[in-house]
Amino acid sequence: MNVGFVGVGTMGSGMAMNVIKGGHNLIVHDINRDSVTEHLEAGATWADSPKEVAEQSEVVLTSLPGPLEMQAVCTGEDGLLQGLTAGKVYFDLSTNSPSMVRQVAEEFSKKGAHLLDAPVSGGPRGAHSGRLAVWVGGEKDVFDQNKHVLDAIGDQVFYVGPVGAGSVAKLVHNCSGYIIQCALAETFTMGVKAGVEPLALWEAVRKGAQGRRGTFEGLAEHLLPGKFDPPDFALKLARKDVDLAVGVGREFDVPMKLANIALAEMTEAMNRGWEGRDSRVAMLLQEERAGVQVRSTEEAIKEVLGK
């Protein structure tokens, strides 16, 4: 299959090379032609513009810095829209704004072409090795027909839902990770300032309950099925632990912003009379504020965990 690729930078370079390794004919374009030297040597064809990439390709992939760059490549002068014809497919691999994705998708649909958002996760190392998660939003039948192209760049390709859903999933993943990163910086500085050697601290806690269980796996036990009774660990005990940690922070003059937010959430949940329920029950407070429930059936959860 003729596959176009626009944006051969830190992430795009490895993914574009894996398109070639996947047995596809690669048509490539980047604002810096020097970035595609190895791809051209491996048999790729150069195109002078995104428009030319679209004209020569059945499926087009882009890996770009953000929403504005994606919009320019799609709708700008000599952009993809000028070269795409009815039936052609475009996967945007960038981390993008769901609103921008949906807006540009409407322009594609007017020409009978298909835009699917397909952001990736795994970093430059994963882009080169092919160990990437790819989260796709768009028309399911178009995804199914062209999944083999994405299989060339990632080993975990998932259909998430309608156009924009892939971008939402990527933002949930990344934002969660950076919040957790801030929390770990907070608690580890508290631990080290309280007198524990850094490596010993890390080695110890990585084998605790939080370390052994994947960050998102825990959601399957309580939040997704909405099960907080009987408790695995009661809210009143969890709140006591966080209160003790905040106390250590005060003792050693360590700012504990996120820990104090968590303590306030748990205290509010306690005041609801939930002290004997599972400690994760405090997550219901955010559901109330957001006006949405994060739920699935236990049967569906088991099916996903069994994959």
The set of catalytic residues is: 170
Residue labelled with tokens 């599972």:
278
Residue 26 burial by Cβ neighbours in a 10 Å radius (0-12, 13-18, 19+): buried
Q: 68 is written with which tokens?
A: 């504005």
Residue labelled with tokens 């944006």:
7
Contact yes or no for 91/118 (Cβ under 8 A): yes
Question: What are the start-end ranges of the E strands in 38-128?
Answer: 45-46, 59-62, 89-92, 114-117, 120-121
Q: 124 is written with which tokens?
A: 């430059």
Contact yes or no for 21/44 (Cβ under 8 A): no
Buried b (16+ CB within 10 A) or exposed e, 261-271: ebbebbeebbe
In angstroms, the CA 238 to CA 242 distance is 6
